[in-house]
Amino acid sequence: MVNLTILPFFDRYLEHEHYRHCVPSNVSSGLATLPLDHVWVDGKENTSWPTNKMLPTGQKLDGKKAYSMIMPYFTTNEMTPDQVNKLGHDQLKMLYAQVNSIAS
């Protein structure tokens, strides 16, 4: 059961804190492109605020490596992340061509 008394606080947090630091999707749209070099605020990169690319254990964050490691848990094939990306782009090309032919 959800504690309804926290909803206004959660809503305020999302609007005034969380969303303000979301990176535009044309900059980063997935784990593989993280970590970013700088903190983003209101859709703009703040180059005077570098990110900490280390975990508390001292390990360096590596989004591409993490994505490669978790991908087998969410897929039923043996494809690499690059192969999945290429397949996605190939499918988009094919589907856009079909949509354009129908829309014409």
Per residue in 18-73, pLDDT (tens digit) is 889 899 988 887 777 889 999 999 999 999 999 999 988 999 989 888 888 888 88
Spatial separation of the C-alpha atoms in residues 54 and 46, rounded to whole Å = 19
Closest by CA to 87, choosing from 69, 70, 75, is 75
- The reply to whether omega before 72 is within 30° of 0 (cis) is no
Give backbone dihedrals phi and psi of 96, rounded to 5 degrees, phi first: -60, -40
Taken in order 72, 74, 80, 81, the sign of the CA dihedral is negative
At 1 the pLDDT is: 63
pLDDT band per the 50, 70, 90 thresholds, residue 2: low
Q: What is the mean pLDDT of residues 81-85?
A: 88
